[in-house]
Structures are given as structure tokens and as C-alpha cells.
Chain A
Amino acid sequence: MLIAAGLFAFSGLFALFGVYAERKVSAFIQDRLGPMETGKYGVLQTIADVIKLLIKELIIPGAADKWLFMMSPAIIFIAVYMGFAAIPWSSGLAPSNINLGLYYIFAIISIETLGILMAGWGSNNKYSILGAMRSAAQIVSYEIPAGFAIISVVMIAQTLDMQTISAQQGILSAEHTKFLGIWDVTNVGGILSWNIFRAPHLIIAFVIYFIASLAESNRAPFDIPEAESELVAGFHTEFTGMRFAFVFLAEYSMMFLVSMIAAVLFLGAWNTPLPNLGVVRLADWTTGVAWGIVWLAVKALALVGIQMWIRWTLPRLRVDQLMNLCWKILTPLAFACMLISGVWRLWVM
């Protein structure tokens, strides 16, 4: 119960921070100042926004399917929130240590699609339905390259347990770790023993997963489900007050969740990036439960930062370009990564 409440508080706080950061980042990229009025440098802006959302009236459109409309924000948020249950934060510190953790997260995230479809249908609004359909089509297609990128990691790691996958990528590893398959770095650790360097083709898998995760969390350049210029706000057009807040909370939690998964699978999870250099035992000094939380949070936040950077830099893709990218480029590449993983595991590692 305590952990659940803690995670809920965390995702709320992260959304507060995320919205503020997003505004500041976008302002920086577009050479503006962003929010400056509320508090010093506008730091209280998102808190003011939350209070505004809390006291707004909850409107149910007359033509809407009342139950579906009311349930959908909860389902969208709970799907993302439950994903956090299996993410390891540090060595020996995970909300729920299940041996199918990775597969569980993959399954739970796919429920979000259903919530979005429910919101779109329940609103009984053209824009909402179009947005929901686009979103579902996009998420279902991009699950395939994302899934194969994940499988290529699983083939290297030989487990679905998030905690074991994490432990393999550092000095706490139970097996021998080789940098690029040639140099034994079991005691050196650091950045050299991360998954993307244990098997270099996983760099491609990482990029594929990152692109697909942008599409799964409906972020630009894959934000056609909520394209403002065409669909008003997509599937959440009709939501007001707290319901809208939940949809937003889900979006920001999803950003953080996919970043954490990427960090755990490819970027060494809670392991330090600093290697042991002779007598300077940097990796030994910076490994521990508290350090683990710091490293994972830093990696995930860096990925979230890149997501924001991409959002304010790249233009939106058209639907056909989106599908071309998924089926003609990412999926074959992900298949190739999976094949290389098999060969790598059998003959190189």
C-alpha cells in the first residue's frame, strides 16, 4: 500500500515537474522565456494549473456514452501506473520483483490503447473518434518493432526478470561481461558493461525502441492522435477538469515509464556509468542502493529530456509516412537485430 501510494505521489510530482520542464524547454528552443509570472521563474505555474483543473466543472457531453466516458481516464492512467510496479529502482529495490517483469510491463502498456479507444468512442465526437483510431493504429503497429527490440535484449540477457537484466550490466553481474564481445570487463563495469556495449547491435535496437516508445506515448513527431491543427485535441477533446488531468498525468507518466524501460534494458539500469580505472575504483565507489536510484533517475530524466527536445524540434509525420517508417524501416531492422542477438549469444558471448 505504501509503495503504491509512493508511486502515485511520484507520478503526480513527476507530471508537475514534467509540464514545467516541457514549457521551459519549448520556450528555450523557440527563443522565448516561458512562464515567468507565477513564482520566481514561473516555478509555481504548474501548481496553479493543477488548482485550476481541480476546481473546474466536470462536464459530460449530452451525446456521450456516460459510463465509458467517465471510466476511460481512469483506465488510461491505471494502465500506465501499473507498469511502474515491475520497474527496479536499485539493486534489491523494486516495488514488485516478478520473474516475468518485462513481459508484464509490455502487456500492461497495451491496455492503454483500450482506454484511448474507450475515450474516443465514449465522447461521441468526430475529432475524438478520429484521434482514438489514429492512436490505436499507431500504438498497435509500433508495438511490433518495440517488441522485437525488447526481444533482442531478452535474447542477450536470457531472462525476463528486470532485476536480473539490470544486475547483468555492471560490476554486480553473476556472469562474465564482455565489452563488444572481446574484452572481459566483469570487474571494470561502468559504461563498458552496459547492454548497448555488451552487444553493439543493441545500439540500433535502442534507437528503434526509443522511436517506437515516442509513438506509443503519442509524443511528437508521432502525435497525430492529438494533432492540434487538425483534430482540436484528439481523443481527449471533450475531457474537462480532473478527467483531463488524469489523461495528462498518464501521458507524462508514460514518458517516464518508457524512458525507464529503455534505461533498464539498454543503458545499464541502476549501474554507474563510471568504470574502475586501475586503483581509482570509480565503479565500486558509485555503486549502492542510493546511488542506484540516482543513476536510474538521471538516465530516465535524460531520455525524457531528449523526448522533449525532439518534440519541439521535429515536425509531425503524416499518417502514411508514419506507417512507412514503422513497417518498412523499423520492423525489418528490429528483425535483423533479433537475428544478430541470437548469433551473438551463441558464438560471441
Chain B
Amino acid sequence: MTLERAMFYLMSLVALSSGIYIAASRNLVRSVFMFFVTLMAIAGLYVLCMADFVAITQVVIYVGGVLVLIIFAFMLSGRETLSGLQQLNNKFISIHKVPAFLLTILFFIVMVNVVVKGNVNGIPWTAKAVLSGNVIGAKDTTVNNIGINLMGNYLLPFEIISILLMMALVGAAHLSRKERGI
């Protein structure tokens, strides 16, 4: 077993087990902190896919941003509200869980189909790219490539995302603004 393969299984194991802990744990705050472990493991998987830029971006945005904001929300809401949330019906089988159950089953079927029918080793375009040498090595810089593609092929989606973020910013600023005369 090569080192890469060993790392892949290790990262996957960490990601899966921490994910299960997040879903099963009753302690909300602990599951949020466990989410950090999941995110780091997934970042490791990205690195193994030679998407190091994506891996680091994931850490910056999710760990440095999203996770901190979630914890902030917890801290502002206080312990009593949280313990109230944790006392809600925790029976394993109940009518509330039918939609979630259906969704998971359907998603699981989709995933199994992808794995069984995907034939990951024989996709034509990857074979063609390997033949023509259009691949990225472990030591190559990916940033330049990403920049050129964002400003070229994917300019429209990039701009649409920026407008979406702009709308969110304006909305947040409007909501947090003080009303005059009160």
C-alpha cells in the first residue's frame, strides 16, 4: 500500500467517523467543533487530489469563517436555549423523521449508482488528457491556471457569484442599521 493510499483511507476514516459523530451527538456545540475535524480531513482529501488551492480555500472559508460564525450564534443564544433544543424528541423512530429518512435513502441510492456505474478508471476525456499531456503534476502551480480560467471560461458564473455576495452584504448592512428616530 502506497503512502498516498494509506493517507486516503486515513482521511476518509476520519471524515466519516467525525461526520457520524456530528449527526449522532446530542451536544450541539461539540458537534460543531467536530465539524472542524471533518473539514480538515476533507481538506486533506483535496490535497491528495492535487487541489491544494481548493483545500486551503476550504480551511479559510469554512474553518475561519463559517464555523466561527456558527459558534458565534451559539454563544449569543446562551446555554438555556441550547439545552431546550437538545431536549426535543430524541426517539430513534418517529413520524418527524420520515422525510429525512426518505431523502437519505434516495441520496444513498444515487451514490451507489454513481460508484457502480461510473467506471471512474475508464472515462474517455481523462484518458485523452493523459495522452496529450494536459495534466497537472504534484509540483505545478495551480493558482495561475485558476486565475486565467476564472477570468476567461468561467467569467459569467464568477460575476454572478460576486453579485450574489454583494446582495448579501447590502442586505446585512441594511438589517443591522439603526432605525432613525427611535
Contact = CB atoms under 8 A, between A and B. Distances in A.
Nearest to A124: B79
Contact of A113 (B29, B30, B33, B68): B68
B148 interface: no
Contact of B59 (A98, A111, A140, A160): A111
A248 interface: no
Chain A, interface residues (CB within 8 Å), range: 20 to 34
Interface string B67-83: 11001101100000000
Contacts of B72: 117, 133, 136-137
Contact of B143 (A132, A136, A143, A160): A160
A114 B74 contact: no
Contact of B60 (A65, A98, A99, A110): A110
B141 A99 contact: yes
Contacts of B56: 100, 103-104, 107
A65 B29 contact: yes
Interface string B46-71: 00000011001101100111011001
Interface in A62-112: 65, 67-68, 98-100, 103-104, 106-108, 110-111
Interface residues of B, number: 23
A136 B68 contact: yes
Contacts of B30: 65, 67-68
Contacts of A98: 52
A121 interface: yes
A149 interface: no
Given A99-B141, A110-B59, A136-B68, 19 more contacts: A65-B27, A65-B29, A67-B30, A68-B30, A107-B57, A107-B64, A110-B60, A110-B65, A113-B68, A114-B64, A114-B71, A117-B68, A117-B72, A117-B75, A121-B29, A121-B71, A136-B71, A140-B64, A143-B64
Interface of B: 27, 29-30, 33, 36, 52-53, 56-57, 59-60, 63-65, 67-68, 71-72, 74-75, 139, 141, 143
